[in-house]
């Protein structure tokens, strides 16, 4: 898939800017703080309808503007073109048009455009909290199959409603509360089981691919991914029943997909606490490369790949290894420094203060 052009209106520090992109490699040059990551974020928004920086839509609208617009023309592998028009508003859900047809729900866009972003923040997948690992896996799940977006929302909703009730109960349970809690438990158990099943299946597919990607970047090393929350053996309905007394006391849902972790290991040691920073960074790259390869294989076409400021962080040999092992397709590389030696750009875009120069 190729994004042929990208237009931003009142997005972050861009007023109105149209970028002509190309198959092959585009390098985006600009000093820090001038809009390189913003450009990557806009492109990735079309794939996920959210910011890869984990902020609200509102944060992406230019200060002083009411709405932001991201437009793109996408050339699909079968030769079809889609014109996508996404609008972000303050305090209202986003709106999306494809080929001038308004989508009933913005989420129906998912699956139309696929983007993989590599970012220095990816180190957080390895070093950060369980939430960052969940987000990595869940985003991959949705990238591979958009229907899991709805399951993820069902889980979130059930957890929120269950937690709201637990707060209202203020540590005490009467008969009515128990009945309502039964309802939320059933919803959480249903959506949670489906989501846990999907996560486990994905981890099973990813593990050998991430292992291979790590080897491509750093030579043969055993790396592991595992997802084995105790509730999966017991069943979530049973686990929620066991946790109920504690949940009432703590006024929060302590068991379920929203609390799980994905264990990562390098050479059979936990990567989060035992690996060196270099190994952690390589594992983060291998995780991204892994999902990129999985989606490329499944779709028989590579997602647009964005390397946002990551090459400058790697030593020359690792940067070259990464570039050598990327599936062919459209690649956008941003950097504040010089164009890395191993890169042969087809196009160069220079950005200053939210404008091309």
Ligand X SMILES: Nc1ncnc2c1ncn2[C@@H]1O[C@H](COP(=O)(O)OP(=O)(O)O)[C@@H](O)[C@H]1O
Q: How many binding residues for Mg ion (CB under 5 A)?
A: 2
Phi first, then psi: what are they for 254, rounded to 5°?
Answer: -90, -10
Q: Residue ranges of the alpha helices (H) in the chain? A: 36-48, 57-60, 123-127, 130-144, 148-169, 175-218, 231-234, 236-250, 271-274, 277-299, 316-324
> Does an H or E element contain 81, and which?
strand 81-89
| Site residues (CB under 5 A) for Mg ion, limited to 17-36 | 36
Q: How far is the CB of 130 from ligand X (least distance, A)?
A: 26
Give me 53's structure tokens.
Answer: 């920086």
**Of 38 and 253, which has the nearer Cβ to Mg ion?**
38
Q: How far is the CB of 309 from ligand X (least distance, A)?
A: 7
From 46, 62, 119, 335, residue interacting with ligand X (rule: CB under 6 A): 62
Residue 71's binding partner among ligand X, Mg ion, none (Cβ under 5 to 8 angstroms by kind) is none
Helix (H, G, I), strand (E, B) or coil at 6: strand
Q: How far apart are the C-alpha atoms of 314 and 335, rounded to whole Å?
A: 12
Residues 6+ apart with CB under 8 A from 43: 3, 6, 72, 115, 304, 306, 332
From 8, 30, 236, 331, residue interacting with ligand X (rule: CB under 6 A): 30
**Of 33 and 278, which has the nearer Cβ to ligand X?**
33
Q: CB of 303 within 8 A of CB of 115?
A: yes
Q: How far apart are the C-alpha atoms of 283 and 266, rounded to whole Å?
A: 8
For residue 37, state whether it binds Mg ion (rule: CB under 5 A): yes
Per 3-state DSSP, what percentage of the chain is helix, strand, and coil (rounded to 5)?
Answer: 50, 25, 30
Q: How far is the CB of 313 from Mg ion (least distance, A)?
A: 12
Of the listed pieces 28-36, 149-157, 253-261, 277-285, which binds ligand X according to CB under 6 A? 28-36
From 3, 12, 198, 214, residue interacting with ligand X (rule: CB under 6 A): 12
Query: Per DSSP, what are the bridge partners of residue 307?
Result: 118, 333
Residue 335: CB atoms within 10 Å: 19
**Of 59 and 357, which has the nearer Cβ to ligand X?**
59
**Of 329 and 354, which has the nearer Cβ to ligand X?**
354
| Site residues (CB under 6 A) for ligand X, limited to 215-274 | none
Q: How far is the CB of 63 from ligand X (least distance, A)?
A: 4
**Of 37 and 296, which has the nearer Cβ to Mg ion?**
37
**Of 12 and 71, which has the nearer Cβ to ligand X?**
12
Residue 34's binding partner among ligand X, Mg ion, none (Cβ under 5 to 8 angstroms by kind) is ligand X
For residue 38, state whether it binds ligand X (rule: CB under 6 A): yes
Helix (H, G, I), strand (E, B) or coil at 232: helix
For residue 37, state whether it binds ligand X (rule: CB under 6 A): yes
Burial 296-329 (b: 16+ CB within 10 A, else e): beebebbbbbbbbbbbeebeeebbbbbbebbbeb
- The residues of the shown chain that bind Mg ion, judged by CB under 5 A, are 36-37
Q: Which residues bind ligand X (CB under 6 A)?
A: 12-13, 30, 32-38, 59, 61-63
């Amino acid at each position: 898939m190729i994004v042929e052009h990208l237009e931003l209106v009142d997005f972050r520090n861009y007023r109105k800017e149209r970028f002509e992109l190309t198959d092959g490699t585009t390098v985006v040059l600009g000093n820090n703080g001038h809009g390189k990551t913003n450009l990557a974020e806009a492109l990735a928004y079309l794939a996920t309808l959210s910011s890869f920086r984990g902020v609200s839509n509102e944060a992406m609208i230019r200060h002083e503007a009411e709405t932001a617009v991201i437009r793109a023309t996408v050339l699909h592998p079968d030769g079809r073109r889609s014109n996508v028009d996404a609008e972000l508003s303050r305090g209202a859900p986003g709106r999306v048009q494809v080929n001038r047809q308004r989508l009933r729900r913005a989420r129906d866009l998912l699956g139309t455009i696929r983007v993989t972003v590599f970012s220095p923040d990816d180190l957080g997948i390895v070093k950060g909290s369980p939430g960052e690992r969940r987000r990595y896996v869940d985003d991959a799940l949705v990238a591979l199959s958009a229907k899991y977006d709805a399951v993820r929302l069902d889980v979130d909703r059930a957890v929120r409603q269950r937690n709201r009730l637990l707060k209202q109960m203020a540590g005490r349970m009467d008969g009515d509360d128990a009945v309502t809690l039964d309802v939320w438990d059933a919803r959480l158990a249903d959506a949670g089981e489906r989501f846990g099943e999907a996560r486990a299946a994905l981890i099973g597919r990813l593990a050998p691919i991430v292992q291979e990607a790590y080897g491509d970047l750093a030579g043969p090393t055993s790396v592991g991914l595992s997802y084995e929350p105790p509730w999966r053996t017991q069943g979530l309905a049973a686990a929620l029943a066991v946790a109920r007394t504690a949940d009432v006391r703590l006024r929060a849902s302590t068991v379920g997909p929203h609390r799980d972790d994905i264990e990562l290991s390098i050479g059979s040691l936990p990567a989060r606490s035992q690996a060196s920073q270099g190994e952690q960074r390589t594992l983060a790259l291998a995780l991204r490369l892994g999902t990129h390869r999985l989606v490329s294989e499944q779709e028989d076409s590579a997602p647009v790949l964005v390397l946002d400021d990551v090459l400058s962080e790697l030593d020359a040999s690792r940067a070259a290894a990464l570039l050598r092992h990327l599936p062919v397709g459209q690649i956008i590389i941003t950097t504040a420094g010089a164009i890395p030696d191993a890169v042969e750009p087809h196009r160069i875009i220079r950005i200053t203060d939210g404008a091309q120069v």
